[in-house]
Every structure is written in structure tokens, then in C-alpha cells.
Amino acid sequence: MVQLKPIILWLLLMTALHGFAQEKRTYTTKKLTGDAPAIDGRINEEAWAQVEWIGDFTQKDPYEFANPTQNTTFKIIYDDNNVYVAIMVNYNDLSLIERRLGRRDSFQGDWVAIAFDSYNDGLTGFSFGVSAAGVKNDLIVTNDVNSDDTWDPVWFVKVGSVDSGWVAEMKIPFNQLRFSNTDNELVWGLEVMRQLFHNDEFMVWQMVPNESSSWVGMWGKLQGISNIRPRKEVELVPYLMGGLKKSERVDGDPFQTGTAWEYNAGLDGKIAVTNDLTLNFTINPDFGQVEADPSEVNLSAFESYFQEKRPFFIEGSNIFNFSISNGNGPTGMDKIFYSRRIGRQPRHWPEITDKEYMEVPEFTRILGAFKLSGKTRNGWSIGVIESVTNQEFAQIDSLGSRRKEIVEPATNYFNVRVQKDFNKGNTTIGGIFTATNRFINDSALNFLPRAAYTGGIDFAQYWQDKNYRIRANAIASTVQGTPESILDLQTAPQRYYQRPDVGHHRLDSTLRILSGWGANVEGGKIGGGHWRFGERVTAISPGLELNDQGFIRRADFITQATWLGYEIWEPFGIFRSLSLGIEEWAGWDFSGRFLYWGTSAYGSARFKNYWSVKTGVNYSGYDVDRPALRGGPALIAPGHWSAWLGVSSDDRKKLVFEPELEGGYRSQGYGGWYEAGLSVSYQITNALQVSLEPGYHFGDQYAMYVETIRVNNRDQYLVASMKQHIASLDFR
């Protein structure tokens, strides 16, 4: 083994020195003279004659660096207020054009897009696209590769037919972009993209190799814009809402009469404080039209995690992201800021008699909130959220007499996030702070903490054209309240301090403060060549608590994970692309007790007939299941195998189906599970698609917690085997 060390070191050195450089292209625009072009999908105005068409795109997928099968050209001009873009989308066979209608940002059918890095920082991109059917798709890219399609700027586009195909004509106001206020000529990053539906071909103006882990940083350059002043925008959207809600009538219940009138009013707004920072605000927001959460049967001790769907919190949410780690496992969804906490369902449930009826608000009303976000020209990303929620009351009817009892206190939520990039975006450092303050004036709410504060710092360093990366973060939390509220946190499923088999922390019913910390370090190769690898170590102390404004399911553990992957983008044999990977992981608690370990192998492939498949197998050794008995001693569950397989048919066809199978079992008769799902969609017309998604799940668990009983002054834990069948059906 000693003789192998020089060879291994030499291979690592050669890998680290391997890089690539792609020559940057430049497009020079001009300020138009005369009338601006009408945005009508016809490139026939004199304005467009002032600049030349440019093309020479390169195929990125499936045949990297190859010439595209179709020709694409574009022009860019500008005036004092707007950037104008024309993209000529040519075909050698007009029958290849695929026009499909869909929702905004759905990217269906053939489409083109232009993207500007107006900060010229190699990290931030503003993309404006349109499909052949005229459907907009726009998004913002942050940190070089993270896209956010919830960004919906105000801009104008029209597509029109020409003899050689179709054309996209765009007008993009400068006030929708962010750039420096300078008298000098501006230099922006620039990329133009085109997607062909019929052969799933993707081409770009500035080639970015598939092996690159960078995206915005590899774009070409746009020059020629000068003497442009940033402009501020103001947007106000008031609303009035009224409706009639029908439900099942419940005899004797005055709150369930079967009919209820609803009404509401409020105001949403957006103000450009500077050209770099935007202030969004909302007064009494209406979330009534937001898509409902999926139904779920949760028999675990932990709360369910649901995605944010409210527009005010979705737009620009990427700037507030601060996860403990970026992998799977027990910390996969844990984060300092989880916006679903704001406006959550009231948590106190008053006790009533058999002759009383009660109505509890479904959600806590948000009185007002504002969000300040953006990125300055010197590399500072800033995000601030301030929100105030109302105190909520339950209405209780007792033989016609009404009273109200408080179920949720008025609460203030504050969050500030900053991040600074250096060294051409290769170094970033940032921080976050959150504060939750509840105004509790009723002893019924003493189970809630009065104040909770969290803070964190994060760091990332990239090198070798961003092919290698190290990231690290550290967080801390402190929660303050009555002994009752802190006791509830100690005995919560995240930590279960009352477990009799724990010696490295103890239950203390007199505490008024609970504090903890967490840290994560990871590094590896994320680009360059076909190989990828990484290592991650995460530690969460027993006292870390984030659930007042964030999300955490488990504390008191140290985890480690290693992964290795190999990717092929160039078509070969029957494959269009192929990805393979292996991974191992292990975990301990803070006493050093070994909790679990596992390994997996997985892969995905797309074939030349446009079908795709994903599959994998996983083995986990024995698992010390600490929360299994809800505060009792840990259970040791035997190891288990699991596997999954998914197939997708050619998504270019009108009929597309995707069956999936997944299952696993534990040794020693400890139980197992399997599930099957099928997604079928049919494109009836270019404007109408229907989809059907049936699913079935079966679970067989040998030891499911039922309750804790007291026998001879000792706690005894009652468990039972459980067989669970769940059938589901989604139709759109």
C-alpha cells in the first residue's frame, strides 16, 4: 500500500491541475436612433437595420461542441428606457416547429431565451425566454448556478411567423434589470439559448462545456451600452375578495351551518428603493387562491414538511436559503428559515364540554409584512423580512352563549441575510440572523417560547474554474420562555431528553433557556471531466432548536457521508447520456454511540430513443432508532435493503407514461414496504393536456408505537405490528 501512495498523489495532482478555458465571445450593441420598434413579432422596422444579425451557435446537448441542426441568429439594440432583442429561429423543415401552450415558466415545445449578467459578476443572471407558442419563461440565476423561476419581471414579447420559421421580438425595460449607475460603458455577461423539441437539442451562443460546474461565469460579453441611468419601479396591487363557502351541515353546531360568507381586502406592492434593492410589502395578504397542500397520513412523531406556495414568500426566496447541510439524510430539510412558520395554524386547542362547539381559525392572519432584497454592485447580497401576525381567538358556543379564547399570540418575525462574494465569485462569505418574539399575555399560551434567536455564518471557496469546492457553515440558537415551554422543547421528538438510556444530557424542568449549535463542512470535485466526488461532515448539538422560524427534525447527532459519481454526456452505444454513483454514510450521537450506517449504488440513463430510466439499490445496517418509543429507550432495528426503478417514455410524444416501483424489507421479520406509481399524460391539443397519477403504498411495520403505560411503577411501552395500505389518485 505504501508503494501506491506516490501514484495516488500523482493522479490527484494531475486531476487538480486539469482545467479548461473557453474563449469568451463578445457582442457589441448600439443605441438606436429614430423610433423604437413596435413589439409585434415582425422585424421590419428601420430600427432593426441599425445592427447586424449574429449567430454561430454551438450544440451543447446531445452532441457537445457540434454544429446545431438548425440556424439561429439574434440582434440587440437599446434606447434610454429599454433593451430590444430580436431572435430569428430558423428551420430547414417547418413541420419540425412544436408550439405548445402552457403556464408561464413551463418551457414547453420549442423555445428561445436571452440572459444578461447585468452585474457583470459572473454569478447573477436575468433570463427572458419565450416559446414558439408565445408563452413567457423568465428566471433569475444566483450564485452562478441556482435558478429561481418565481421571479416574474414586467417585460414584453411577441412571436411571429416568417418563411424560415419564427421570430421572437422582445422589449425588456432597464428597470427590470440591476446594474451600476455609471457614465462609463457598461459590460454585461450575455448568453442566448435555443431548445428544439423534436430531437431534444439544446444550443447556445456562448459555449459552456457540460463538464463545467459554472454557468453564468462562463457566459460571453455584451458591450456598447452607455449613458443609461438605472430607473426605479413602483407597483401597487390592491385586492377585494368576497365569496360564499358551502360545506356539510352539522346539526346543532352553530359554526357548521353549511353556508358561510367570506370577505377580505388588502394591498400588495413593490418599490425599487435603489436600482439594486427592491422592497416588496403586503398588508393583510390574500392566500386563499394558493394551491392546497397534498393530503398525508403521518403516523410518525415528527411534523410534516410542506413546500411554500404563497407568492409573497416564494419570489426571491433563494436569497434567504440557509440549510444546515446540502445533502440527504436527517438534515436534508433542516434550515434556519422556513417561511411556512409565518401565518401557521394556531397551536392552542381550548378544552370544551360535550355541549359546547368551537371554531378555530385555519391560519394565523398576517397583518403586514415587507421584504427587502437584492444585490449591490460591489457584491453584497441582502435580504430582510419583517412580518407581524395577529393574535387569534377560538369562538366557543355554549347553548347559544358565545365566548372567545386565545389560541395564538401576536408574533413578530424578523430575518436578515447577507452574503458577499470576492475573487470573481470564487469566494463567498455570509451570515444570517432571525428573531421570533411572541407577545404572550395569557397563561394558556405558556407552553410557547416567548423569544427565539438564531444566527449563522457560511463560507464557500471555489477553484480550478469552479471544479473544486469547499463549503462550511456554523449556526447557533437560543430559545427563551417559561419552564413549561422549555420543558416541552426538551421532551419534543427532536431530542427526547427524558429517554432512560441517555447519559450525556439530562432533563431539567427548571430551565428557562435552551441553547445549541450546529456545523457542516463539505468539499469535493463538482465539475471538470467525468468524475465527481465529495465528503461531508455535519454535527447538530442536542440543544439546537430552529422550529420557531426554521425547521429541524432531529438533534444530537454527527453524520458523515462520502460519494463518488461518473457522468457521460456524449451519446454512445444506445445511450444519449449516463450517470452512475455510489455513496456511504454513518452517524453517531454526541456521546459517541454509533447510530446507523449505510451504502447505496444508483444510476440514471437516457437512451437515443428518448426513453429514460433511473434505478438504485440501498443497504442500511442496523439502526439505533432513538425516537421509536416516543421518549422511551432506543430500539435497535435490523438492517434493511431497498431498491427503486423508474422508467419514462419519450416525452416528445403526445402520450407519455412514467411507471415507478420502490420497495424494501428489514431482516429478522421486522417488516417491509413497497409502492407503485404511474404518471400518464396526454397532449390533446397544443393548448390542452390531461394527466392521471394513480399510486399505491403498502407498509408492514413490526413494532409501531401505540402508547406508554405504567405497570408496577415502571414505564412499559406498548407496540404493535401495523399493515398500512394507501391508494391515491391525482387528476389534472
The DSSP output letter for 54 is B
Query: What is the rounded CA–CA span in Å between residue 234 and residue 270?
Result: 6
| 19 pLDDT more than 50 | no
Q: In this predicted structure, what is the pLDDT of residue 541?
A: 97
Give the DSSP H or E segment for 266. strand 259-272
Collapsing DSSP to helix, strand or coil, 438 comes out as strand
- C-alpha cell belonging to residue 411: 408574533
Do the Cβ atoms of 338 and 550 come closer than 8 Å?
Answer: yes
309-314: long-range contacts, CB 8 A cutoff, minimum separation 24: 310/285, 310/339, 310/343, 311/150, 312/268, 312/280, 312/282, 312/285, 312/369, 312/371, 313/339, 313/342, 314/150
Considering only 35-49, 364-378, 543-557, which range has the smallest mean pLDDT? 364-378
pLDDT of residue 267: 87
Q: Rounded to whole angstroms, how far apart are CA atoms 424 and 461?
A: 11
The whole-number pLDDT of residue 17 equals 38
pLDDT at 286: 66
- By DSSP bridging, strand 531-540 and strand 513-525 are antiparallel
CA–chain centroid gap for 432, Å, is: 18
DSSP assignment letter at 340: G
* pLDDT at res. 11: 36
pLDDT for 287 equals: 64
What is d(CA 409, CA 423) in angstroms, rounded to the nearest whole number? Answer: 46
Pairing of strands 259-272, 234-246: antiparallel
Q: What's the burial of 139, exposed, middle or buried (CB within 10 Å: 0-12/13-18/19+)? A: buried
The per-residue pLDDT for 54 is 96
Q: Which residues of 640-673 are buried (b: 16+ CB within 10 A; e: fewer)?
A: bebbbebebbeeeeeebebebebbbebeeebbbb
The span from the CA of 513 to the CA of 511, in Å, is 6
What is d(CA 636, CA 634) in angstroms, rounded to the nearest whole number?
A: 7
Nearest to 408 by CA among 448, 467, 368: 448
Q: How far is CA 493 from CA 157, 301, 303, 555, 578, in A?
A: 52, 6, 9, 9, 41
Q: What is the pLDDT of residue 598?
A: 95
Closest Cα partner for 427 from 480, 379, 366, 386? 379
Start-to-end C-alpha separation, the chain: 59
Cell of residue 541, nine digits:
448539538
pLDDT digits (tens, 9 = 90+) for 455-504: 999 999 999 989 999 999 999 999 999 999 999 999 999 999 999 998 89
Mean pLDDT, range 185-198, rounded to an integer: 96
396-407: b (≥16 Cβ within 10 Å) or e:
bbeeeeeeebbb
Rounded to whole angstroms, the Cα distance separating 391 from 439 reads: 9
Query: What's the chain's average pLDDT?
Result: 90
| 24-225 CATH, one of 3.40.630.30, 3.40.50.300, 2.30.22.10, 2.60.40.1190 | 2.60.40.1190
The residue ranges of DSSP E strands in 427-512, in sequence order, are 427-439, 451-463, 468-480
pLDDT digits (tens, 9 = 90+) for 285-318: 766 555 666 777 777 888 888 888 787 888 778 8
Report residue 195 as a C-alpha cell. Answer: 431548445
**Mapped to the 3 state alphabet, what secondary structure does 40-68 carry?**
CCCCCCHHHHHCCCECCCEEEECCCCCCC
Residue 553: CA atoms inside 13 Å, Cβ hemisphere, count?
15
**Domain residue extents for the chain:** 24-225
- What pLDDT is stored for residue 183 in this prediction? 65
d(CA 56, CA 435): 53
Per the CB < 8 A criterion, the answer to whether 249 and 258 are in contact is yes
98: phi then psi, degrees, rounded to nearest 5: -115, 110
Each residue of 690-725: pLDDT tens digit?
A: 999 999 999 988 888 999 999 988 999 999 988 989
Going by C-alpha positions, the residue among 363, 383, 368 that lies closest to residue 317 is: 383
* Higher pLDDT among residues 146 and 204, named by residue: 204
R_g over Cα of the chain:
29
User: Poorest-confidence range of 95-109, 132-146, 280-294, 402-416?
Assistant: 280-294
pLDDT at 4: 38
The angle at the Cα of 187, spanning 183 to 193, to the nearest 5 degrees, equals 145
Name which of 498, 599, 143 is nearest 326 in CA terms: 143
pLDDT of residue 153: 86
| Cβ-based neighbours of 318, under 8 Å, separated by 6 or more | 140, 142, 146, 148
656, 695 contact by CB (below 8 A)? no
With pLDDT > 90 as the criterion, what percentage of the chain qualifies?
A: 66
Integer Cα distance of 144 and 140 in angstroms: 10
pLDDT, position 402: 93
For residue 20, what pLDDT is reported?
A: 46
Q: Is the peptide bond before 294 cis (omega within 30 degrees of 0)?
A: no
**Pairwise CA distance, residues 520 & 536, whole Å:** 7
Residue 294's CB is within 10 A of a number of other CB atoms, namely 10
User: Quick one: pLDDT band at residue 238, thresholds 50, 70, 90?
Assistant: confident
Count other Cβ atoms within 10 Å, centred on residue 114. Answer: 23
Do 492 and 238 contact (CB within 8 A), yes or no?
Answer: no
276-290, 337-351, 379-393, 543-557: which range is least confident on average?
Answer: 276-290
User: Whats the size of the chain, residue-wise?
Assistant: 732
Asked if 342 and 390 count as a contact pair (C-beta separation under 8 A), the reply is no
- Check residue 246 and give its pLDDT: 76
DSSP assignments along 143-177, one per residue = TTTEEETT-----EEEEEEETTEEEEEEEEEGGGS
Give pLDDT, residue 3: 43
Query: Can you tell me the mean pLDDT for 167-183?
Result: 86
Cell numbers given for 628: 421509536
Does the pLDDT at position 632 exceed 80?
yes
Cα(520)–Cα(471) distance, integer angstroms: 8
The pLDDT score that the predictor gives to residue 633 is 93
pLDDT tens digits, one per residue of 575-584: 999 999 999 9
Q: Which has the minimum average pLDDT: 124-128, 443-447, 670-674?
A: 670-674
The model's pLDDT over 639-680, given as tens digits with 9 standing for 90+, comes to 899 999 999 999 999 999 999 999 998 887 778 899 999 999
C-alpha cell at 217: 461565469
Residue 318 DSSP symbol: G
Section 73-94 average pLDDT: 96
pLDDT for the residue 152: 85
> CA dihedral defined by 170, 173, 178, 181, rounded to 10 degrees?
130
Are the beta carbons of 224 and 28 closer than 8 angstroms? yes
Higher pLDDT, 419 or 314: 419
Which range is least confidently modeled, 1-5, 416-420, 559-563, 603-607? 1-5
In single-letter form, the type of residue at position 282 comes to: T
